[in-house]
């Protein structure tokens, strides 16, 4: 349920999400060097495809988000990369919506940026085990923060959504675990074959 559909959120939440996302897109595009565009495009495509594989979880469904991986590799450029993938998903498959695009982008991109900054601050090249552990923590934490932000977006839109917030948080616990394992493997591989992507 990371893709909140149109018609659910209140106008103040939608306005806040749009304002934050416009700022994030602007900063991300300013930091996106021309030589980094192919890297951003590939990760945006991976994000797009991973979000299409839905697994049932109670009354809802969940999917890999990979925003932790994007935040680590792309930094601020993760914001526009996530927005492009979400826009295509909304237009092609009806996931989320166009009005709520700013909120959905904010809920996935801000955690990506946060874990990316923390990873870069504490990561040092050379220690494979530590790199994998940091990748696992980043992947799991990014999903946890996304779940919290989705729940907050719903909760701030009306008291009638408060019961759903607990379901959102619970449904993303298995995704946190899978995402932690996947991100640890991906970051460990990147650290071995192309460590400059992590600096």
| pLDDT tens, residue by residue, 144-180 | 999 999 999 988 988 888 887 887 788 788 889 989 9
Domains of the chain: 11-198 (1.10.1760.20)
Terminal Cα distance for the chain, rounded: 32
**Res 1: pLDDT:** 55
pLDDT at 116: 94
Low-confidence ranges of the chain (pLDDT < 50): none
Q: Name the token pair of 137.
A: 């923590």
pTM of the model: 0.90
CA distance linking residue 164 with residue 171, whole number of Å: 10
User: What is the helix (H) or strand (E) element at residue 62, kind and residue range?
Assistant: strand 60-62
- pLDDT score recorded for residue 59: 60
- Rounded-to-integer distance, Cα 113 and Cα 148, Å: 15
**Count, residues in the chain:** 199
């Amino acid at each position: 349920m990371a893709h909140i559909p149109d018609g659910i959120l209140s106008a103040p939440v939608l306005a806040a999400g749009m304002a934050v996302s416009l700022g994030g897109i602007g900063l991300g595009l300013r930091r996106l060097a021309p030589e980094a565009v192919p890297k951003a495009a590939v990760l945006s495509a991976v994000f797009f495809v991973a979000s299409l594989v839905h697994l049932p979880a109670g009354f809802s469904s969940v999917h890999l988000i990979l925003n932790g991986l994007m935040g680590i590799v792309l930094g601020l450029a993760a914001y526009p990369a996530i927005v492009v993938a979400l826009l295509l998903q909304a237009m092609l498959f009806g996931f989320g919506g166009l009005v709520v695009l700013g909120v959905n982008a904010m809920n996935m991109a801000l955690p990506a940026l946060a874990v990316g900054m923390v990873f870069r601050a504490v990561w040092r090249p050379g220690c494979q085990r530590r790199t994998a552990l940091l990748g696992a923590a980043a992947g799991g934490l990014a999903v946890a923060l996304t779940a919290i932000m989705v729940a907050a977006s719903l909760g701030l839109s009306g008291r009638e959504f408060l019961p759903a917030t607990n379901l959102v948080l619970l449904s993303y616990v298995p995704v946190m675990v899978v995402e932690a394992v996947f991100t640890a493997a991906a970051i460990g591989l990147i650290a071995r074959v192309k460590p400059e992507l992590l600096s």
